[in-house]
Amino acid sequence: MGDFDAKIETASASGLLKIQSERLKTLLRYADARMPFYSNAFREKKISVEKLSLPGDLKHLPFTLKSDLRDNYPFSLFAVPVSDVAEIHASSGTTGKLTVVGYTKNDIKLWSEVMARTLACAGVVKGDMIQNAYGYGLFTGGLGVHYGALELGATVIPVSSGGTKRQLMLMQDFKSTVLTCTPSYSLFMAEEAREDGIDPSKTNLRVGVFGAEPWTEGMREQIEKEWNILALDIYGLSEIIGPGVAMECEGKNGLHIWADHFLPEVINPATGEVLGEGDEGELVITTITKEALPLIRYRTGDIVALTCGTCSNCGRTMPRISKIKGRIDDMLIIRGVNIFPSQIETVLMNIPEAAPHYQIIVKREKHLDKMEILVEVVEEIFSDEVRKLEELEKKVVSEIESTLGISVDVKLVEPKSIERSMGKAKRVVDQREK
């Protein structure tokens, strides 16, 4: 059963807890027996899986870090022989080395199911034409959506990312109803459409399933207006399964996390302490049904808050995570102040003369960190008088400074001068020496 599964998606809190505890126990036994990485850690910490009371005792188990996957590159963390691995994906981080993940055939089945559930949560149905513009390849976006679409019975166009003119042609000729890609790429596509004389608000698109990078409510509004669609947020990460970990419904009040497979916790990233409902912190996930690469208390690096209770829009009872504020490692500390790129995006999206394209450059001058924000302006303003541009620049500086509480430099730049991305947008360029 891949699409909306009322029995599990609207299960009572106690019903879900029962499933979680049973699966968690099975998973811990499995990891203890098959993954020396975990059995050694349990032995070191004198943890006996059989004595744990779950899920309460989960908090006593050690965390798994991204560096643990890298240190076990490529396959040493796998719980099954490589010959039982059906598919391999990998994501590249900032440090160069790939994070490699593997799936057994059953894992692919699970991925198809949670992705079908995810698409169904966005209102996608059989009969929809999904233009899948996430990259196919080692990145999990393309194939993840693909498997979900097949499972759901919708039609999928595996166009992958890039080739924007061709995307637009296919979108019109095939009458795509669903667009799946990064939010930044959807805006680039709309921009190209206008340039080619196509009105993006007049396509057959109904809904966009956008994720793989942080984006703000302001960005959502822009996308919805440009395309005249419903733009919903999809979350996931390769280490856990790829896309299909959590998804917004039309109510846009948090992303429903599929907690019967991915057990969420939110922790204080500095102390590791588990936080309560509503507190912002780092999302930690334990996969309780995976075979090739189950992970216990995996620190995602993503900042969210968790909400429980029934969704007033769709009635789903799974916990929800807030829209992702950003990654801990994307947090900039400028002269002692913590700043997320999303805070800057929120300010910019409220200034109509600013285009939704920006880049943050961090430099170190005379031992002081400085932040320069390149902001594209809309065409009409750019061709306007210099005085108007100067006024706009002052306005952007003052609004960002009053939000962030630090001084920044703002440089207004020509339309289309900031590099566009077909995948994850690069919002921050850190020029400080590490």
Instruction: Kindly tell me which of 321 and 392 has the beta carbon lying closer to ligand DLL.
Output: 321
Q: What is the total count of residues that contact ligand DLL (CB under 6 A)?
A: 22
Instruction: Kindly tell me which of 136 and 174 has the beta carbon lying closer to ligand DLL.
Output: 136
Compose the 306-325 pattern: x for residues touching ligand DLL by CB under 6 A, - for all others. Answer: ------------------x-
Least Å distance between CB 10 and ligand DLL? 23
Instruction: Kindly tell me which of 349 and 410 has the beta carbon lying closer to ligand DLL.
Output: 349
Could you tell me how far CA 351 lies from the centroid of its own chain? 25
Task: Name the one residue in this structure whose structure tokens are 């240190």.
Answer: 71
- Residues paired with 99 in a beta bridge: 91
Instruction: Kindly tell me which of 98 and 389 has the beta carbon lying closer to ligand DLL.
Output: 98
Among 151, 191, 226, 233, binds ligand DLL (CB under 6 A): 233
Q: Say if CB 284 and CB 267 are below 8 A apart.
A: yes
Residue 302 as a binder of ligand DLL (CB under 6 A): the answer is: yes
Compose the 68-97 pattern: x for residues touching ligand DLL by CB under 6 A, - for all others. Answer: -----------------------x------
- Considering only 58-66, 163-171, 193-201, 236-244, which stretch makes contact with ligand DLL by CB under 6 A? 236-244
Site for ligand DLL in 262-301 (CB under 6 A): 300-301
Instruction: Kindly tell me which of 34 and 327 has the beta carbon lying closer to ligand DLL.
Output: 327
- Residues paired with 306 in a beta bridge: 321
Instruction: Kindly tell me which of 97 and 327 has the beta carbon lying closer to ligand DLL.
Output: 327
Q: What is the 3-state secondary structure (H, E, C) of 22-68?
A: HHHHHHHHHHHHHCHHHHHHHHHCCCCHHHCCCCHHHHHCCCECHHH
Task: Name the one residue in this structure whose structure tokens are 């890609």.
Answer: 181
CA atoms of 98 and 64, how far apart (whole Å): 17
Instruction: Kindly tell me which of 130 and 392 has the beta carbon lying closer to ligand DLL.
Output: 130
CA atoms of 219 and 349, how far apart (whole Å): 6
- Residues paired with 91 in a beta bridge: 99
Instruction: State phi, psi for 312 to the nearest 5 degrees.
Output: -70, -20
Least Å distance between CB 25 and ligand DLL? 27
- Residues paired with 364 in a beta bridge: 369
Least Å distance between CB 238 and ligand DLL? 3
Residue 423 as a binder of ligand DLL (CB under 6 A): the answer is: no
- Considering only 6-14, 25-33, 35-43, 137-145, which stretch makes contact with ligand DLL by CB under 6 A? 137-145
Site for ligand DLL in 371-400 (CB under 6 A): none
Residue 141 as a binder of ligand DLL (CB under 6 A): the answer is: yes
Instruction: Kindly tell me which of 146 and 370 has the beta carbon lying closer to ligand DLL.
Output: 146
Least Å distance between CB 114 and ligand DLL? 12
Compose the 203-232 pattern: x for residues touching ligand DLL by CB under 6 A, - for all others. Answer: --------xxxx------------------
CA atoms of 167 and 189, how far apart (whole Å): 8
Instruction: Kindly tell me which of 23 and 299 has the beta carbon lying closer to ligand DLL.
Output: 299
DSSP state string for 254-300: SEEE-TTTEEEEEE-TTT-PBP-TT-EEEEEEEESS-SSS--SSEEE
Residue 345 as a binder of ligand DLL (CB under 6 A): the answer is: no
Can the peptide bond before residue 74 be classed as cis, meaning omega within 30 degrees of 0? yes
CA atoms of 64 and 295, how far apart (whole Å): 7
In 335-405, the DSSP E strands lie at 337-339, 354-365, 368-377
Burial grade of 180 (CB within 10 A; 0-12, 13-18, 19 or more): buried
Least Å distance between CB 140 and ligand DLL? 5
Q: Say if CB 203 and CB 415 are below 8 A apart.
A: no
Least Å distance between CB 255 and ligand DLL? 7
CA atoms of 303 and 323, how far apart (whole Å): 9
Burial grade of 46 (CB within 10 A; 0-12, 13-18, 19 or more): exposed
Instruction: Kindly tell me which of 96 and 352 has the beta carbon lying closer to ligand DLL.
Output: 96
Among 238, 286, 287, 359, binds ligand DLL (CB under 6 A): 238
Site for ligand DLL in 322-341 (CB under 6 A): 324, 327
Least Å distance between CB 385 and ligand DLL? 38
Instruction: Kindly tell me which of 324 and 396 has the beta carbon lying closer to ligand DLL.
Output: 324
Binding site for ligand DLL (CB under 6 A): 91, 134, 139-141, 211-214, 233-238, 242-243, 300-302, 324, 327
